Amino acid sequence: MRFPVKLAIGSISAFIFIILVGFVLFPRMITSKVKGMVNLAPGNEIRDMFIKVPFALSFKIYLFNVTNPMEIQSGEKPIVKEVGPFCYEEWKEKMNIEDKEEDDTISYNQKDTYLKKWWPGCRNGQEEVTIPHPLILGIVNTVARQKPGALSLINKAIKSIYSDPSSIFLTAKVDDILFDGVVINCNVSDFAGKALCGQLRTAEALTKVGEVEKFSLFSSKNATLQKRIKAYRGKKNHRDVGRIVEYNSSKMMDVWPTEECNSIEGTDGTIFPPLTKPGEGLFMFSPDLCRSLIAFFVRKSTYDGIPCGEFTADLGDMSKNEKEKCYCSTPETCLKKGMMDLYKCSGIPIYASFPHFYNSDTSYLKGVGGLSPNKTKHEIKILFESITGSPLYARKRLQFSMPLESTQKVELFKNFTGTVLPIFWIEEGVGLNRTYTGQLKSLFTLTKVVKVSKWLILIGSLGGLAAAGYLFFKVDGRADITPVHEIRRHESKSGSTVNGAGGHVLSGNGLEKY
Ligand SMILES: *[C@@H]1O[C@H](CO)[C@@H](O)[C@H](O)[C@H]1NC(C)=O
Ligand SMILES: *[C@@H]1O[C@H](CO)[C@@H](O)[C@H](O)[C@H]1NC(C)=O
Ligand SMILES: *[C@@H]1O[C@H](CO)[C@@H](O)[C@H](O)[C@H]1NC(C)=O
Ligand SMILES: *[C@@H]1O[C@H](CO)[C@@H](O)[C@H](O)[C@H]1NC(C)=O
Ligand SMILES: *[C@@H]1O[C@H](CO)[C@@H](O)[C@H](O)[C@H]1NC(C)=O
Ligand SMILES: *[C@@H]1O[C@H](CO)[C@@H](O)[C@H](O)[C@H]1NC(C)=O
Ligand SMILES: *[C@@H]1O[C@H](CO)[C@@H](O)[C@H](O)[C@H]1NC(C)=O
């Protein structure tokens, strides 16, 4: 057979083979393998990781030490100094698992356990800091909103419980403020004091430790079962993996005035549906904020050699965006960009924003001295691999502040200049280590090898075809004549051979097929 024809046949076969296998079969195989692996049905490795994350997340807390408490009392601008981080391991586990085959769902209660750790760069927790007393500021703000008439009673109660304080600030050891508890003296006999302590107990702000009652910012979150969540397992539809359908046994929240804001969208943030387009947003429901956040695509990135997308999120601007007006405290009083009032959500008049008011309205930053917002340190950042739906790295950051407003009915609050006073911020961090990225990488090495070789083979086959065409037409005359001579010579020597003829017929037929 003539060489150009052989080359053409070879090239065309390679071309068809690679189109079928490399461009059709292999991607389908990957897709179906991913669909089979990335869902929460029993027996899947990812389900076990979803139920009990096999490694600890890092949980860091930073407090804002108030350096001029007495000056603030007389109306000056607060000056704070960040102290931290105080470091913990966060172990995430889901309890009371219940599967429902018929609607392809899994129900659970999330339980997060925090263990104190010390890593290089962390503070030890024995330091004394001064922060606005969350119970004094919280109670006054709550009563001012709910029952302003009761403020003079609160004034008396504060004097009783906190033994006639000279400021609203609390100076205590960091460990006590965060988890161990600051003693609140509820062993009082006056009416106002007793009433307030009763309120604090029903709000579960106090925990009884032996004979005394204590308050801390985080102990109530530690190792406690959160509200029940029902989520799709995604066995039937991979786009639903982890998507929350019910929170607290209800399809909607009952927190905000509109249906849109009450709707629950997205996953709990530990898992996402696979096979999304690289630029698609990540929807996460945050029970702490009673809202869904969308992390949006920023740029392409890599993590430990795995190609991924970088995502970030913001808290929107309820003063400007029509859709976010439902988060306003009242229709007339909206917070500015980047700030959320969680009073309706948690019953505590606390504000959420990014640390140091990063990406928030500048008026908040102007109201407090000592802050320096910084994108790298304070933004939310997620590196996400969209084929398997894996978050590879995440830094979720949130700051909690309380509004400081003057009121004439409470003595300690008479001279305040209105500001939003930051109290603490937290960073939840995770980065998959080699053990886990290694598993992902093998998939990516395979797809990369296939990707490169399929283009090489494709280009090679097209090149071969071109070369065959070139040889066939360019060297036409000689190519035609030479074999004839050869065959004649062959024939003259030993007669026709069956094999030779057969070979010709076969390749002829083979050629016609294509
Ligand atoms: C990754 O983390 C897991 C769980 O903590 C651990 O068992 C494993 O040894 C780690 N792998 C590497 C390479 O550090
Ligand atoms: C907090 O501020 C107070 C007053 O400025 C200071 O005495 C204290 O040492 C600070 N605490 C820390 C941990 O820096
Ligand atoms: C959180 O709770 C666990 C289990 O009850 C306990 O071992 C741990 O010490 C607590 N963490 C902190 C920071 O107090
Ligand atoms: C409460 O106060 C009373 C009177 O001041 C005192 O006798 C009692 O021991 C206190 N109880 C506790 C638990 O501190
Ligand atoms: C959860 O449901 C219970 C009972 O339906 C309700 O009383 C409670 O307010 C709900 N909590 C939240 C945060 O929605
Ligand atoms: C933000 O923080 C990073 C990391 O600590 C630092 O390198 C950078 O200089 C800071 N940027 C500004 C504007 O302060
Ligand atoms: C508020 O200011 C008035 C007048 O300057 C002063 O008399 C009063 O002591 C101040 N109150 C507090 C709680 O600092």
CB atoms near residue 411 (< 10 Å): 13
Q: Is the CB of 248 under 6 A from ligand 5?
A: yes
Give me ligand 3 centre to Cα 362, in Å.
38
Mean pLDDT of the region 135-153: 89
Q: Is the CB of 347 under 6 A from ligand 5?
A: no
pLDDT surpasses 60 at 500: no
Q: What is the pLDDT of residue 294?
A: 92
Q: What is the pLDDT of residue 240?
A: 92
What band does 177 get if pLDDT is binned at 50, 70 and 90?
very high
Q: Which ligand is nearest to the CA of 186?
A: 4
Question: Does residue 128 belong to any structural domain of this protein?
Answer: yes
Mean of per-residue pLDDT scores for the chain: 86
Q: Which ligand is nearest to the CA of 412?
A: 7
Question: Are the beta carbons of 222 and 114 closer than 8 angstroms?
Answer: yes
Nearest CA to ligand 3 atom 7: 115
- The one-character DSSP state at 268 is -
Q: Is the CB of 74 under 6 A from ligand 7?
A: yes
Of ligand 5's listed atoms, the one at least distance from the Cα of 287 is 13
Question: Does residue 304 belong to any structural domain of this protein?
Answer: yes
For the stretch 433-445, pLDDT in tens is 998 888 888 777 7
Q: What is the pLDDT of residue 350?
A: 93
Q: Is the CB of 54 under 6 A from ligand 1?
A: yes
Q: What is the pLDDT of residue 273?
A: 92
Provide the token pair at 175: 């460990």
Give me ligand 6 centre to Cα 276, in Å.
33
Q: Which ligand is nearest to the CA of 246?
A: 5
What band does 454 get if pLDDT is binned at 50, 70 and 90?
confident
Q: Is the CB of 187 under 6 A from ligand 4?
A: yes
Nearest CA to ligand 7 atom 7: 74
Question: Does residue 21 belong to any structural domain of this protein?
Answer: no
Question: Does residue 269 belong to any structural domain of this protein?
Answer: yes
Question: Does residue 439 belong to any structural domain of this protein?
Answer: no
The Cα 95–Cα 224 span in angstroms is: 10
pLDDT surpasses 90 at 18: no
pLDDT surpasses 90 at 21: no
**For the chain, how many structural domains are there in total?**
1
Ligand 3 pocket test target in 88, 174, 179, 222 with most atoms within 8 Å of CB: 222
Mean pLDDT of the region 429-433: 93
Whole-model pTM?
0.86
Question: Does residue 356 belong to any structural domain of this protein?
Answer: yes
What band does 470 get if pLDDT is binned at 50, 70 and 90?
confident
For the stretch 192-236, pLDDT in tens is 888 888 888 888 888 888 888 899 999 888 999 999 999 999 888
Q: Is the CB of 130 under 6 A from ligand 2?
A: yes
Nearest CA to ligand 7 atom 9: 74
Question: Are the beta carbons of 90 and 114 closer than 8 angstroms?
Answer: yes
Buried b (16+ CB within 10 A) or exposed e, 451-467: eeebeebbebbeebbee
Provide the token pair at 493: 């020597």
Give me ligand 7 centre to Cα 192, in Å.
24
What band does 511 get if pLDDT is binned at 50, 70 and 90?
very low
Of ligand 7's listed atoms, the one at least distance from the Cα of 413 is 13
Whole-angstrom CA distances from 426 to 259, 400, 431 are 30, 9, 17
Ligand 5 pocket test target in 109, 202, 246, 248 with most atoms within 8 Å of CB: 248
Ligand 4 pocket test target in 187, 189, 194, 197 with most atoms within 8 Å of CB: 187
Q: Is the CB of 211 under 6 A from ligand 4?
A: yes
Sign of CA dihedral 164, 168, 172, 175: positive
For the stretch 383-398, pLDDT in tens is 999 888 889 999 999 9
Q: Which ligand is nearest to the CA of 435?
A: 1
Of ligand 3's listed atoms, the one at least distance from the Cα of 180 is 14
Question: Does residue 509 belong to any structural domain of this protein?
Answer: no
Give me ligand 5 centre to Cα 255, in Å.
10
What band does 496 get if pLDDT is binned at 50, 70 and 90?
very low
Q: Which ligand is nearest to the CA of 374?
A: 6
Which of 496 and 286 is assigned the larger pLDDT? 286
Q: Is the CB of 433 under 6 A from ligand 1?
A: yes
Give me ligand 2 centre to Cα 65, in Å.
6
Question: Are the beta carbons of 410 and 140 closer than 8 angstroms?
Answer: yes
Q: Report the share of the chain in percent with pLDDT over 70.
A: 92
The Cα 401–Cα 456 span in angstroms is: 58
pLDDT surpasses 90 at 4: no
Q: What is the pLDDT of residue 1?
A: 67
Whole-angstrom CA distances from 481 to 137, 332, 449, 514 are 102, 95, 43, 25
Q: What is the pLDDT of residue 477?
A: 54
Q: Which ligand is nearest to the CA of 193?
A: 4
pLDDT surpasses 70 at 486: no
- The one-character DSSP state at 338 is T
Q: Report the share of the chain in percent with pLDDT over 90.
A: 45
Least confident of 71-80, 115-124, 312-321: 312-321
For residue 114, give every residue at least 6 positions away whose Cβ sits within 8 Å of its Cβ, in sequence order, or none: 59, 88, 89, 90, 91, 179, 218, 221, 222, 223
Give me ligand 1 centre to Cα 49, in Å.
13
Question: Does residue 412 belong to any structural domain of this protein?
Answer: yes
Q: What is the pLDDT of residue 476?
A: 58
The ligand 3 site (C-beta within 6 Å) comprises 113-116, 179, 222-223
- Its domain, for residue 262, covers 56-432
What band does 475 get if pLDDT is binned at 50, 70 and 90?
low
For the stretch 78-136, pLDDT in tens is 999 999 899 999 999 999 999 999 999 999 999 999 999 999 999 999 999 999 999 99
Give me ligand 2 centre to Cα 338, in Å.
29
For residue 488, give every residue at least 6 positions away whose Cβ sits within 8 Å of its Cβ, in sequence order, or none: none
Mean pLDDT of the region 355-374: 93
Nearest CA to ligand 2 atom 4: 67
Least confident of 12-16, 56-60, 249-253: 12-16
Of ligand 6's listed atoms, the one at least distance from the Cα of 377 is 2
pLDDT surpasses 50 at 152: yes
- The one-character DSSP state at 436 is H
Q: Which ligand is nearest to the CA of 416?
A: 7
